């Protein structure tokens, strides 16, 4: 019989760190956005985004996937993205309507996945969902990055353009989840 992984393992601790980093990011983005503070915000966001890959890597490598990790990992991802989306609105870098659409999709899909799990159905993240997440991380990171540090004109507009792509992928992957659930329940 295979031994169950402890819920207090390295991957779950890394996931927990993402929650903490999301809170730190919120505080940093509320502060005056000097170039130095914006760079610290960017570094915190980047570290948090990278932990999304690291925790999964360790969970698979050491076969320490747990029920807690399956629940907390996608939640930590959504908290990080939601934090960045919301905190970028007052900075004028994220339109509220876009943040709302992305957040609504994330909440609905999380609810649907939760509903399916109560019936023993696990809906894994799709390849499309993973691409969506990467696109969101790149777009949000670009919007957080201090634009005056690089000689790239319109850096934040580039970040916003990436977020439009992320929005399209977000909605597309949301419809994909609905389609998969429809096939399961009908």
125-177 residue pLDDT tens = 778 988 999 999 999 999 999 988 888 889 999 999 999 999 999 999 999 88
Is residue 2 assigned to a domain? no
Residue 69 lies in a domain: yes
- CATH number assigned to the domain comprising residue 50: 1.20.120.1760
Give DSSP secondary structure letters for 21-65: HHHHHHHHHHS---HHHHHHHHHHHHHHHHHHHHHHHHHHHTT--
Overall pTM surpassing 0.85 (yes/no): yes
pLDDT of residue 41: 96
Let me know if residue 1 belongs to a domain.
no
- Greater model confidence, 67 or 25: 25
Answer whether residue 15 is part of any domain: yes
Average pLDDT, the chain: 89
DSSP 124: P
What's the total number of domains in the chain? 1
CB contact set of 132 (below 8 Å; sequence gap of 6+): 166, 169, 170, 172, 173
Is 77 contained in some domain?
yes
Domain, as residue range, for 153: 10-185
Q: 3 lies in a domain?
A: no
User: What is the DSSP secondary structure assignment for residue 3, as one 8-state letter?
Assistant: P
Residues 6+ apart with CB under 8 A from 146: 33, 35, 38, 39, 42
Asked whether residue 4 is domain-assigned, the answer is no
Instruction: Please state, in angstroms and rounded to a whole number, the distance separating the CA atoms of residues 97 and 89.
Output: 10
How many percent of the chain have pLDDT more than 90? Answer: 58
pLDDT for 1: 41
Two structure tokens written together for 116: 């399916």
């Amino acid at each position: 019989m295979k031994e169950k992984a402890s819920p207090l393992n390295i991957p779950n601790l890394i996931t927990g760190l993402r929650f903490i980093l999301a809170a730190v990011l919120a505080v940093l983005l509320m502060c005056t956005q000097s170039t130095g503070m914006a760079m610290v915000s960017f570094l915190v966001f980047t570290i948090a985004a990278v932990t999304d890959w690291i925790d999964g890597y360790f969970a698979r490598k050491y076969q320490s996937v747990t029920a807690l990790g399956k629940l907390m990992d996608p939640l930590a991802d959504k908290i990080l993205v939601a934090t960045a989306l919301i905190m970028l609105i007052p900075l004028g870098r994220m339109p509220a309507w876009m943040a709302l659409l992305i957040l609504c999709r994330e909440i609905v899909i999380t609810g649907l996945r939760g509903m399916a799990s109560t019936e023993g159905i696990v809906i894994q993240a799709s390849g499309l969902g993973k691409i969506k997440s990467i696109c969101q991380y790149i777009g949000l990171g670009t919007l957080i990055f201090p634009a005056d540090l690089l000689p790239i004109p319109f850096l934040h507009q580039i970040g916003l353009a990436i977020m439009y792509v992320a929005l399209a992928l977000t909605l597309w992957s949301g419809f994909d989840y609905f389609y998969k659930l429809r096939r399961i329940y009908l």
